Structure 1
């Protein structure tokens, strides 16, 4: 298997599972994953938040872990990466305001490189204008953004365990979708796992 270089865009209060689990899964299969945050360097951390579904009108939020960054945001050359991951949580709503984040995401979109976004991560894809014409999943509160960006919103199943691939982009509604979301992202990367 060819090792792929994956860029992960995060920020403070990224959803805990949505950053930790994909980061570890991609490392587990042998890929080189660089997690970065605007304004931060390798060795610094971002705070995470655990979002859970407990019967309320929206998710609940609890403190998560600190997640260690392993690459400097200012050193990112998107041309050196094979794929992009954008986790959800509260981070996407403000990292999308960073012009360099938008420039990076636009590179992946224009080059048709694999992009994986989950939950609220699609807010970054909307801001970068890379989902027009795609089918796209997200946390239901992001549906209006997706539709206004010219994409077709695909709703989650009852357990939020589904994901959808549309061209070079795979999206999921929330962390319960990790198995489907990451499987489809690995397919886009050309990664084969044999039992």
Structure 2
């Protein structure tokens, strides 16, 4: 069983956050949710309405939080997931988030990013030379961070698995679970 850390905060997209948590638990793994504080985070629902140029945002469910970013010991985890929504825009500036995310990238451990999730490793300079999916309007941001934007539902680059958003979650989840389970096989 792997222990996977999920970094999130208020305004994270509901499906981007809850789907991976439930899928990891369904697969027999432990999903541990971390946020700025230990209060439940307020998720949002993003949808694509006819006649709108951008997605709409509505209040979503609450997601219980297990521990605060400052209390995370990344050595205790086998993988990392960064859901999308607006939360990555805010959490990417946290020194504790930087410490945690660098740990996983430095060690080649599984990292899953969903939708806006790549904003976190991009802000830390960790996407340089990588291939990644992201919410399509982030293409320029990803490319300015030195990555190659790939418009696909399940982009695997080493131990990093990314997707464009919640419609891609079934394919992303299958790819992330395969990378995670492969990383659990003793060398």
Report the TM-score, using the length of structure 2 for normalisation: 0.93
Contact 1:106 1:129 in 2 (8 A): no
Detail structure 1 runs of 4+ shifted over 6 Å in the superposition: none
For residue 168 of structure 1, the aligned residue among 155, 159, 162 is: 159
Q: Secondary structure at the match of 2:67?
A: coil
Q: Which whole-Å deviations, capped at 9, do the CAs of 1:83-136 have from their partners, x for residues lacking one?
A: 000000010001001111011111110100000001101100101222211111
- Aligned counterpart, 1:67: 63
| TM score, norm. by length of structure 1 | 0.89
Task: Tell me how far apart the structure 1 counterparts of residues 44 and 160 of structure 2 sit (CA, whole Å).
Answer: 25
One of 40, 48, 52 as aligned partner of 1:53: 48
Please tell me the root mean square deviation across aligned C-alpha atoms, in Å. 1.1
**Structure 1 unaligned regions, length at least 5:** 157-161
The 8 Å contact of residues 103 and 128 in structure 1, kept in 2 or not, is answered as no
Give the 5 Å matches for 1:1-195: 3-38=1-36, 40-41=37-38, 44-55=39-50, 56-156=52-152, 162-190=153-181
Task: Tell whether the 8 Å contact from 2:69 to 2:97 is kept in structure 1 after alignment.
Answer: no
Q: Secondary structure of the equivalent of 2:45?
A: strand
Unaligned runs of 5+ in 2: 183-187
